[in-house]
Structure 1
Amino acid sequence: MRILNICAYSWETGGPPKIIFDHAQVALRLGHQVDILSPISRNEKPYTVPEGARLILCKRTTPISNYFREFSLELYQFLKKHIHEYDIVHCHGLWHFGTLAPFMIDRNVAKVITIHGVLDRWVYAHNNWKKRLMDTLAQKTYLRRADLVQINNTDEREDVLRYLGFQHPNVVIIPNGVKMSDFAKLPPHGTFRAKFNFPSDKKLVLFMSRLNVKKGLDLLLPGFRDYVRDHPNAMLALAGSDDGYEETVRQFIAQNQLGDSVKLVGMLTGDDKKAALADADLFTLPSYSEGFSMAVLEAMAAGTPALVSDRVGFGETIREHKAAELVELTPAGVRAGLENMLGNDALRRQTSQNATTLLKAQYDIDIVAKRLLDEYAKVVKA
Structure 2
Amino acid sequence: MNILHIAPYFYPAWAYGGTCRAAWEVARATAKRGHEVTAYTTDALDGRRRATPAREVVEGVEIRRFANLSNRLAWARLFAPPVLAFALEGAIRRADVVHLHEYRSLLNVMALPILSRLNKPFILTAQGGVPLLVGRFALKRVYDAWVGRPLLSRACKLHALNTMEQTQLIEAGGRPEQVFIAPNCIDVEEYHALPEGAAFRQRHRLPPDAPLVLFLARVNKIKGVDFLVAAFAEACRQIPNAVLAIAGPDDGFLPEVQRQVGELGIEDRVRTIGYADGAAKLEAYRAADVYVLPSTYEILGITLLEALACGAPVITTDRCGLADEIQQNTLGSVVKHGDVRGLSDEIVRALNERDAARRDSERRREFVLANFAWDRIAERWENMYEACARKG
If the length of structure 2 is used for normalisation, what is the TM-score?
A: 0.90
Name the structure 1 match of 2:5. Answer: 5
Q: Which residue of 2 aligns with 1:173?
A: 181
Q: Judge which range, 144-153 or 331-340, deviates more.
A: 331-340
SS class of match (2:200): helix
Is the 1:11–1:45 Cα contact (8 Å) retained in structure 2? no
What is the one-letter code of the residue matched to 1:116? Q
The equivalent of 2:229 in structure 1 is 221
Query: What is the DSSP-based 3-state SS (H/G/I as helix, E as strand, rest coil) of the residue aligned with 2:37?
Result: strand
The Cα shift of 1:95 comes to 1.3
Name the CA shift for 1:245/1:234 in 2 (closer, same or farther; >3 Å): same
**1:188/1:361 Cα in 2 relative to 1: closer, same or farther (>3 Å)?**
closer
Correspondence for 1:139 among 148, 162, 166: 148
Secondary structure at 1:169 match in 2: helix
Asked if 2 retains the 8 angstrom alpha-carbon contact of 1:206 and 1:236, the reply is: yes
Alpha-carbon deviation of 1:264? 0.8
> What corresponds to 1:152 in structure 2?
161
Residues 61, 72 of structure 1: 8 Å contact kept: yes
Where 1:157 maps in the other structure, the secondary structure is helix
Q: Paired residue for 1:99, among 86, 105, 108?
A: 108
CA gap of 1:288–1:267, structure 2 versus 1, over 3 A, is same
Structure 1 counterpart of 2:129, from 118, 121, 131: 118
Deviations 1:94-124 (A, max 9, x none): 111122322121232221111211224xx53
Which amino acid letter does the alignment assign opposite residue 129 of structure 1?
A: A
Residue pair 1:204, 1:279 contacting (<8 A) in 2 also: yes
- Which amino acid in the other structure matches residue 203 of structure 1? P
- Aligned pairs (5 A) from 1:1-382: 1-7=1-7, 8-9=9-10, 10-41=13-44, 43-46=48-51, 50-61=58-69, 69-107=78-116, 108-120=119-131, 123-124=132-133, 126-164=135-173, 167-329=175-337, 330-345=339-354, 347-349=356-358, 352-382=361-391
Unaligned runs of 5+ in 1: none
Q: What is the CA distance between 1:49 and its match in structure 2? A: 7.3
Q: Per the alignment, do residues 274 and 360 of structure 1 end up closer, same or farther by CA in structure 2, a change over 3 Å counting?
A: closer
Alpha-carbon displacement from aligned partner over 1:25-69 (angstroms, at most 9, x marks no partner): 321221112222212358344399742222211112359967993
Distance 1:377 1:284 in 2: 39
Q: Tell me how far 1:243 sits from its aligned partner.
A: 0.9
Q: Is the 8 A contact 1:71 1:96 kept in 2?
A: no
Query: What runs of 5+ residues in structure 2 fail to find an aligned partner?
Result: none
Letter in 2 for 1:88: V
- Structure 1 Cα separation of the partners of residues 22 and 191 of structure 2: 16
Alpha-carbon distance between aligned partners in 2 of 1:63 and 1:249, rounded to the nearest angstrom: 24
Deviations 1:309-357 (A, max 9, x none): 1333222121111112112212212101101211113552466344324
Q: Percent identity?
A: 26
Instruction: Note if contact 1:21-1:50 (Cα within 8 Å) is conserved in structure 2.
Output: no
Amino acid at match of 2:232: F
Structure 1 residues 176 and 203, CA gap change in structure 2 (3 angstroms) = same
In 2, Cα distance between the equivalents of 1:49 and 1:337? 46
SS in 2 for 1:304: coil
For 1:110-148, what per-residue CA distance to the aligned partner results, in whole angstroms no more than 9, with x for missing partners?
21111211224xx53643222101112222112211111
Asked if 2 retains the 8 angstrom alpha-carbon contact of 1:186 and 1:274, the reply is yes
For residue 373 of structure 1, give the secondary structure of its aligned residue in structure 2.
helix
Cα pair distance change 1:68/1:233, threshold 3 Å: closer
- Secondary structure of the 1:119 match is coil
Most deviating of 76-85 and 58-67: 58-67
RMSD over aligned Cα atoms = 2.3
- Distance in 2 (CA, whole Å) between partners of 1:64 and 1:234 is 36
Structure 1: distance between partners of 2:245 and 2:317: 18
Distance of aligned partners of 1:29 and 1:60 in 2 relative to their CA distance in 1, 3 Å threshold = same
**What is the aligned residue count?**
379
1:278-307 deviation digits (Å, cap 9, x = unpaired): 111111101121222211111111111111
